[in-house]
Structure 1
């Protein structure tokens, strides 16, 4: 554990990373004290999940308007009975982002359970990702292949997943001894690059990250929208930054950290827009 804490702290001291951490913390603190959040956190947090789900789906190629997502979430529009692949991706993103409300209560004490619950949300029987029931909520077996995020590189072999997942859980455990923004960014990248599941890994990674930044105190209100922060740089930027991390080089890790931690600052600004709309009584699309 000491080695993990020291390693995370060293990464936080890389050029540009520390400055990004400070800006993200300041932006999230400013959001926390917005006047709208004195009494109306649930409404603002619900809209954050809508916009987060929309952005997470868009990062997986399913582009729809935030108004469409909002109507699906509140039940004004029904999900199609026979969805196409993009509609399945959207549903998986919506269900996983909704599940972060529960995952945030588990992510610090039982990260393995939080990870499994998020995957069940993405890949359950009514969700977007079509998997056999016995493949839902558990890591890949040796005879199973993951064909996602091929631009990032090869996923971790199934036999190596227990050790990599153990490292992820150890990383989460140092959230109170190292900058939360760096811990969350590393957790996101670890899930997305190791790809523990057959499908649904990127959405799970973003859901795990959302739950972690809330539970560990960077965004206690749940109104920041880190997914929008990732999307604002476009999917090529997001995937490219993950590919840089996957190289394991110092420059590659630094590039990912500045990108991802910067997404928390951008996500906090989106949260401010949500809070402004709540305060003015004009909550609508982003």
Structure 2
């Protein structure tokens, strides 16, 4: 993808992500010395589903999500979270198939059946293939996750539930890369904590040229650090 060539070398991007990666590694190592459990992973996924749903417009609280009383958006995000880690092997082999499944989960019941899991037109299908190409770029995992997220959200290839898909794909990158194999960081909560910056930097990514892309990447260094702070490991 020509517009993204070399963006990992923009001023402040490499050093910012290196510092964030060090912080995440330290948290996972130090707090993960005590045995982690599937319950911690499930809690991280639940927190992420709630945050992603709120960013998409849900008004449900996390307590309502826990109690099974969430609105439709939060229920969609939960459907995604339940299957997400099972899609990691598929994402590693055939990422477009995994993204189609994520969209099917996120959009079920809200769009016609023949639109579920399908790009909205030929241009969108091309954009999805370009996103899949980002996974083989050799960039650091955090940079790749940030770019995949922004490309999916700003190009809206499915035309529905694209925010839920984009944030799920971000987490899939972090897990499949091995950076956060047990999915204990909550990047969605980081974005929610910085919501105004999240939304403004996404607009900059879409329309602000190289400066906008750089601003988005620098923002993501902060968001991922905040996502690490939101990990259930911090509760231990």
1:139 to 96, 112, 119: 119
Does the CA-based 8 Å contact 2:175-2:182 persist in structure 1? yes
- Gap change, CA 1:63 and 1:26, over 3 Å in 2: farther
Q: After the TM superposition, which segments of 4 or more aligned residues of structure 1 sit over 3 Å from their partners? A: 34-38
1:211-258 Cα distance to aligned partner (Å, 9 max, x none): 111111221221000001101112x32221111000151110011111
Partner Cα distance (2:221, 2:166) in 1:
15
Shift, 1:113, TM fit: 0.8
- Gap change, CA 1:197 and 1:66, over 3 Å in 2: same
* Alignment length (residue pairs): 236
Partner Cα distance (1:261, 1:97) in 2:
23
TM-score by length of 1: 0.77
User: What's the counterpart of residue 191 of structure 1?
Assistant: 152
Does structure 1 residue 29 correspond to structure 2 residue 29? no
Partner Cα distance (1:198, 1:171) in 2:
21
Partner Cα distance (1:204, 1:70) in 2:
21
1:222 to 162, 166, 183: 183
User: What's the counterpart of residue 240 of structure 1?
Assistant: 200
Shift, 1:43, TM fit: 1.5
User: Counting helix residues as a fraction of each chain, which structure ranks higher?
Assistant: 2
Shift, 1:119, TM fit: 0.6
Partner Cα distance (2:87, 2:33) in 1:
22
Does the CA-based 8 Å contact 1:185-1:261 persist in structure 2? no
1:142-153 residue pairs with structure 2 within 5 A?
none
1:119-134 residue pairs with structure 2 within 5 A?
119-125=103-109, 130-134=110-114
Partner Cα distance (2:97, 2:34) in 1:
32
User: What's the counterpart of residue 202 of structure 1?
Assistant: 163
1:259 to 213, 219, 227: 219
Larger radius of gyration: 1
Does structure 1 residue 50 correspond to structure 2 residue 46? yes
- Gap change, CA 1:276 and 1:255, over 3 Å in 2: closer
Does the CA-based 8 Å contact 2:127-2:157 persist in structure 1? no
- Gap change, CA 1:39 and 1:137, over 3 Å in 2: same
- Gap change, CA 1:71 and 1:105, over 3 Å in 2: farther
TM-score by length of 2: 0.92
Shift, 1:36, TM fit: 4.8
Unpaired runs of 5+ residues, structure 2, are none
Does structure 1 residue 104 correspond to structure 2 residue 78? no
